[in-house]
Structure 1
């Protein structure tokens, strides 16, 4: 599921030789009107960017060399370019890399140009803040990248399955409580062909990408406010993780481990066997081909009574060593905020608009599913959060939680036992990350 969330399957990666020969950063050509742009994506994204960049080249009498990789290859290729001192002039960056790249002198502070040229009130605050860093904490201070996109992680349901079961459709404005959600999921978990084996389930959620909404809505979190202490052993977190595990262990509303090995839950959702499943904007083009009707609702709510979810994002950064800082910065701003460029990406179905006024029009005018596109905007504006690891110097402490979590999901260990056991390891890794960042 991770690779699907990060990006769709892309075309063949550009050969390593193309990277080491790029003209950006510390490259040899240094042409005043030529820059390089490196990104990852699929064919639809390549087509959209190619069209947008042609217009940029025309408007600026410039040449932009495109370097594209698959999602899986991007990090390796970028690191190779950095090591070889052939950094592209403009390139994708994720929020979790900002601190390290700033401290290493890899990315340029573009605050002055952004504040002079961009109406920040018309951009999603989350997108801009994801690339702010004040030398201590993420989310504030100077701007080191423009948001390529934001990806509100919403919750989908199979309308056709609800109709077949005679269950009232969910209210898009009133989230289920956790108890209501389990009750409906049980009604959707069925042996539809009478062979004595379940072939339809209420849900099927991946713990690494779906635990967050339930923890946050239950009042829990991974870290304290200043991001110096791991808090996963607090009761709200423990309760949410145990509830998540019990969807399978107690309630039986998810495919079993053996079922999941036969066919993963994403594929079962695609085949109409799953009632509730997460949906990101990047999924929408693929889901147009589904054989059932589907729509979006808020995530079920825990003890706070408020929905929660996370928002993904990629940024467009400018190399600190670019030989054409003005043109490179203009390209980063253009790809993030130009209406025509944004429309190309929205039409390709790879993201929601970065511009708030465009997003409102997109909700009102688009006829493609989902019908409740407003839910994406609600996540973006009201209750979406950064993934915990995006706000710290490294993600090791966060990844540690999921390395040995399977016994909890299998019922061999309680959530409380596991979280008390894993917290010291997470804290040690967080302390190291903060020390590397010069915090504390």
Structure 2
């Protein structure tokens, strides 16, 4: 009866199980029974430790041993950490870690700024690169790329800790990655303002306007006009809304309107674009129509910061790097730092990104893949933002200014893909702005005169020639 009730597959399973039990009993010993046949569930459960063990083995793979080789890193300054600051101590620890990990010796070279590019190219031609890693000064990378003196790095950055937008920026408009950069600080330039001047005039200051999402060209101009006054009644303006160098203001205003002076992807000079021309016309109006910019006394670079320190101007566009040498200990009034105001075409706050500097690996350097890893291990990826905040706390006057400089709210953006350093573009544009701030020429006429020469200057550099000394 039971046999009839069983299906044929069931009968086969019973016979198979019985046979396995008999074989198991026969193969065992009197001391220890044979191991039972593993069940599917047990096999699945046991895979996790195996996978973890394999991962541990992968992590334990030793770094390449470069047999005591000296890794030379060139800057146009001595980058050896020598001080007793916390950052220098951490840098020394990273160097020691790298030297032990790869069996190398890190050596920093101090190469003269204008000699760096020539030294790199001549040493590559001699098949003896003078350094494994070279910090290339502003603008020199274009010619070195085009002339084939650099190592393409795409294959060595597949698992990099560098953010992808930074990696892409290191293509400099081309197909290959030729540069190395750890990160880009979010807001290196903006607007310094005098709190006392705004308060005495009963005006909302730039920080208050920014908090209201109302910090733009119109509100900046309105404040500048109201703060350009004759305070002592002698018939002459002795306080102005703004001060600056025309060549700095032009660059910052173009960027704040979402414009670029140059398009890396197309190799085209673009300071005649609608966004750029709107900014140049606005700059022309600040000087000639509204007359809210204090004239410099002979030194376009030094005078604006000096005026700000003296408390005779309300707003000064500039860079964070200026604070320690040009504002701290010279500014008696309370002050703050905000983004550049938004232009009419801007969807966000923008700052210019014109310099073309980068670390490169010269062509012919051996073990370039390992050199990239060594460079990465020398970077402080984990702490750079904390270190930046600590340094800003030492130089900025209040929490709002620090938050702006750190871009805590994420509102300011850098205009990647528009670097013009070393291409000769700015030299041509500055000839125009120098004339139209004096009312000698209109922006449209001036730009029409120099757009061709600017494009020719770009073509010259991209053909392999290097920037001229200034």
Provide TM-score, normalisation by structure 2.
Answer: 0.67
1:355 equivalent in structure 2: none
Report if aligned partners of 2:81, 2:91 keep a CA contact under 8 Å in 1: no
Q: Structure 1 residue 395 and structure 2 residue 423: aligned? A: yes
Paired position in structure 2 for 1:332? 375
Match of 2:365 in 1: 322
Question: Which of the residues 254, 269, 278 maps onto 2:308?
Answer: 269
2:105 corresponds to 1:63 = yes
Unaligned runs of 5+ in 2: 1-65, 466-470
Secondary structure class of the residue paired with 1:308: strand
1:219-368 to 2 correspondences below 5 Å: 220-223=259-262, 226-258=265-297, 264-286=303-325, 287-289=327-329, 290-306=331-347, 307-311=349-353, 314-323=357-366, 325=368, 328-339=371-382, 347=390
Please tell me whether residue 202 in structure 1 is matched to residue 245 in structure 2: no
| Residue ranges of structure 1 left out of the alignment (5+ in a row) | 1-29, 350-361
Q: 1:269 to 1:76 in 2, by over 3 A?
A: farther
Query: Within the alignment, does 1:385 sit opposite 2:415 as a pair?
Result: yes
Residues 97, 374 of structure 1: CA spacing in aligned structure 2 closer, same or farther, 3 A cutoff? farther
In 2 relative to 1, CA 37–230 (structure 1 residues): closer, same or farther, beyond 3 Å?
closer
> 1:201-245: CA deviations, max 9, x gaps?
211132322223433454654356852544444554333212202
- 1-structure distance, mates of 2:94, 2:210: 40
Deviation per residue, 1:39-97 (Å, 9 max, x gap): 2469998747753442133213242222346xxx4233453454355522222235743
CA shift for structure 1 position 411:
0.3
TM-score, structure 1 as length reference: 0.71
Contact 1:147–1:316 under 8 Å retained in 2:
no
Offset, 1:182:
1.4
> 8 Å contact 1:52–1:341 — kept in the other structure?
no
Counterpart selection for 2:402 from 373, 387, 412: 373
Contact 1:165/1:188, CA 8 A, preserved across alignment: yes
RMSD: 3.9
Q: Distance in 1 between matches of 2:306 and 2:375?
A: 36
The residue aligned with 2:170 is 131
Residue pairs, 1:411-430, within 5 angstroms: 411-430=439-458
Match of 2:181 in 1: 146
Does the CA-based 8 Å contact 2:275-2:345 persist in structure 1? no
Are residues 196 and 83 of structure 1, via their aligned partners in 2, closer, same or farther at CA, if it must alter by over 3 Å?
A: farther
Deviation of 1:324 (Å): 5.6
Structure-1 separation of matches of 2:108 and 2:200:
49
Secondary structure of residue in 2 paired with 1:303: coil
Question: For this pair of structures, how many residues does the alignment match?
Answer: 381
Structure 2 residue 163 is the aligned partner of structure 1 residue 120: yes
User: CA deviation digits over 1:314-341, x for unaligned, max 9?
Assistant: 4333333334645532342134343357
The structure showing larger relative contact order (alpha-carbon pairs under 8 Å, at least 6 residues apart) is 1
CA separation of 1:263/1:367 partners in 2, compared to 1, >3 Å: closer, same or farther?
A: closer
Corresponding residue for residue 221 of structure 2: 182
